[in-house]
Amino acid sequence: MPAAVAQGSPGDVVVAIDVPHDAGKVPRDSDVMGETPPEVTVAFEAISFWVPATLGPPSTFSKDGLKRLVPGMAKATKETKDDMRQVLFNIRGSCEPGEMLALMGPSGGGKTTLLSLLGGRAPKRTQQDGRVTFNGSRLNKRVKRQIGFVLQDDLLYATLTVQETLYFAAMLRLPKHKTKAQKLERVDAVIKALGLERCRDTIIGDHMRRGVSGGERKRVSVGHELLINPAILLLDEPTSGLDSSAARKMVELLRELASSGRVVITTIHQPSSNIYQKLDTVLLLSQGHPIFYGKGSQAAPWFERLGVACPYGVNIADWILDLASGEVTGKEKTGEEQRLHLISVSEQYLEQQPGGYMGGGIDVEAFHSSGPIPSASRSRTPSRSSSSSGMGDLEAGEMSEVRLRPAAGTANVQGSRMDSTRVVDRSQTGLAAQKAGASRWGASYWTQFTTLFVRAIRVRRFETLSQQDLAQFLCVAAVCGMIWWQVGQTNTVYGAQNTTGLLFFEALFLAFRTMFVSLFCWPQEHKMMTKERASGMYRLSAFYLARSASDIPADLTIPTIFIAITYLMAGLRHGGYFFLNWLSVMLSTLVAQAFGLFLGATVMNAKTAQTICAVIMLTFMLVGGFYVTNIPVWIGWIKWISFLTYAFNLLLKLEFGGRTFYDCSLQQKDFNPSDPWNYVASGQCVEVTDINAALNSTTDLNGPKWEAAVLIGFLIVSRIAVYLALRFKTKP
């Protein structure tokens, strides 16, 4: 039923939209969600976009990467539009509650770029003209929390089940005033609404572990965003990788979600004719230029009136994609000439009639004339089947009367009578009504920390105490124990020299292994962190603390087993010194882990980080005090930034400090170093007054507090550096 335009004072934007007689009844999927989403109109005006001429993000250590690291340097050397490549050209349009807008076009046409701009996720090092508004207002963080963004790649944890994936998302994203029981009800409602009951307890899976199907995985991604009952749902290629049946069901689901009053905007590539018929509005892009914007059913008539007709029996979706690619010739034009002509016509039309649909009863001759477009064709076609009439371009804070009407798709399902008597102020509904009480974060800080801590443990449940790691540490510990068997039980210089080698290996082996393992942590999590931070799921500090806390038990359990076996077999110092030795090695290991995390977070490329890490660790090893003691002055400063130097010195002080050692080799030519106790007991050995000289060491064996304090300082500074690197690298 056409919407009637109410009369108002000049300059007012007043739109009357029909309301069903039983408007108080919540649409079907809103009943499932438990509450009606706020009404939001998304408008984009004269959008143009530029990207760097060189593809890909800059390396951290490249010229462009250093510009981003040094404050103010990037602004001082900011790229101009002349140095960049334009990928979007003066695109206009809007999408209203109850409407599904499909962004179509060949690959490289700018669909995903435009979708990212609408969701406030513009890539870095880019420039933009035009504006995107939500009920007339610019995007802010509170509005952003009402946007659900489904990426083309399903970024989900492979080891979590469907239930766990949605549960953790609900605990983080739903408002803090909701109880845990209410959040669980929302999870159950989403699972039922998306038809995921059968795979509720199945893991997501990946190429290593079998999990849910591709269609189910995509529905989980949609459900992840549907949990917050978003007013706006943006999807990038939701049918990509799905068979025809799964793709049709996905579009039907999106149509159903839109019918409850949501804005649904999706990119879609090569839809079938059946899927194309379910689309409300189509925006067709050709190399960043719009060549059609209107109802999908009006595309063929529009192009036919412009001199190029779709052949009978050809899928209209395939044909318009060929048209946008310049592969359809006209009567007098080649395919490329035809494409450029359509771009010119489209841009002229949209510029003279912003927000208007193409198609309908447009007079092509009048349109091609130099004068303005006739008023009869300046408004959106009021008879479109699945969305309310156009809102126009509302300025921020402008008051406008709107008569609410759910989408026609819902009205058809319910078969209700129309009523036009309910009038409300849009500025007092939807997001505007929620803005004052809305919070930037869904959950409290403590809830975020505990939820992320449990999730991190669940994600790593297949990695914790793996048989391979356990076998590796047991074998190395046994070999070390046999090589250094009871070497610490003798108070001889010979035994002390051998013990020195064991202590250095103990610190080096665990630090080396831990640092290399930690390199992979953030590069593997990078995309997930960027996605979740862009959705406003949690504070980065809560995620960082939770992930760090969850890693400690798994990362320290096996090294503890290694130390216990080696320490006992080597017969090192008895008493509480075992605990001090363990504490020192664990501190050194945590510092090495923090160094590895920092490298991984800074570079975000595991292969590059491995190369850098190998150079750093080998350098630290050489200057650690075991291989070389007299290092040239011009390079000797490196040892003071090597955590291995302090860890090795700390272990030496704990093992040798306050002990008396004997040199037995001076008195007996036939001295047997494997059995020195007979010589010590018989008084045939000489007491050593300077064990440092005997060990060729410059370390003062008294007072281990300094080394411990330096290692703790290294740990604190490096952990803070990791957080700052993550904050920079994953900034939405």
**Does an H or E element contain 104, and which?**
strand 100-104
Token representation of residue 698: 């410059």
Over residues 97-112, the mean pLDDT reads: 90
Residue 731 has pLDDT above 90, yes or no: no
Query: Residue 188's beta-bridge partner residues?
Result: none
pLDDT tens figures, 492-534: 777 778 888 888 898 889 888 888 888 888 888 888 888 888 8
Query: What's residue 666's pLDDT?
Result: 53
Contacting residues for 621 by C-beta, under 8 A, at least 6 apart: 508, 627, 644
Confidence of residue 177 (pLDDT cuts 50, 70, 90): confident
| 181 residue type, one letter | A
User: Identity (one letter) of the amino acid at 412?
Assistant: N
**pLDDT at 316 exceeding the cut of 60:** yes
pLDDT value at position 100? Answer: 93
CB 688 within 8 A of CB 484: no
Please say whether the dihedral angle defined by the alpha carbons of residues 611, 722, 443 and 434, taken in this order, is positive or negative.
negative
- The SS3 call for residue 717 is helix
Distant-in-sequence, close-in-space partners of 614: CB < 8 Å, separation ≥ 6: none
- Which tokens sit at 394? 């509302």
* 450 backbone dihedrals φ, ψ, rounded to 5°: -65, -40
Q: pLDDT tens digits, residue range 537-566?
A: 889 999 999 999 988 887 788 888 889 999
pLDDT value of residue 267: 92
Residue 266, H or E segment: strand 263-267
Rounded CA-CA distance 57/530 in Å is 14
Does 167 have pLDDT greater than 90?
yes
128 strand-pairing partners: 49
pLDDT, tens digit, 9 for 90 and up, residues 468-496: 778 888 898 999 889 988 887 777 777 77
What the block records as the tokens of 3 is 């919407």
Judging by beta carbons within 10 Å of its beta carbon (0-12, 13-18, 19+), is residue 645 exposed, middle or buried?
buried
- Does residue 390 have a pLDDT over 60? no
Q: What span, in angstroms and rounded, lies between the C-alpha atoms of 478 and 480?
A: 5
Helix, strand, or coil (residue 76): helix
Give buried/exposed letters for 470-491 (b at 16+ CB in 10 A, else e): eeebeebbeebbeebeebbebb
Burial of 721 (0-12, 13-18, 19+ CB in 10 A): middle
Residue 164: its pLDDT value, please? 94
CA distance 662 to 654: 18
Q: How far apart are CA 101 and CA 111, in angstroms?
A: 12
Task: Specify the pLDDT at position 362.
Answer: 56
- Tally: H helices and E strands in the chain: 28, 16
Q: What is the mean pLDDT of residues 361-374?
A: 48
Split at pLDDT 50, 70, 90, the class of 370 is: very low
**Distance between CA atoms of 191 and 85, rounded to whole angstroms?**
43
Q: Which residue has the tokens 């790691």?
A: 469
402, 406, 422: which is closest to 5 by C-alpha?
A: 402
Q: Which CATH class is domain 19-146+228-435?
A: alpha beta
Q: What is the pLDDT of residues 580-616, one digit of tens each?
A: 989 999 999 999 999 999 998 888 888 888 889 889 8
* Residue that the structure tokens 């809103």 belong to: 30
Say how far apart CA 317 and CA 8 lie, in whole Å. Answer: 41
- Which pLDDT does position 523 carry in this prediction? 85
Helix (H, G, I), strand (E, B) or coil at 236: strand
> pLDDT at position 595, please?
92
Integer angstrom CA distances of residue 427 from 8, 38, 420, 478: 17, 12, 19, 73
Provide the pLDDT confidence category of residue 209 given band limits of 50, 70 and 90.
confident
Place of tokens 């996720």: 121
Per-domain boundaries in the chain = 19-146+228-435, 445-729
Contacts of 55 (CB under 8 A, 6+ apart): none
pLDDT for 233 equals 92
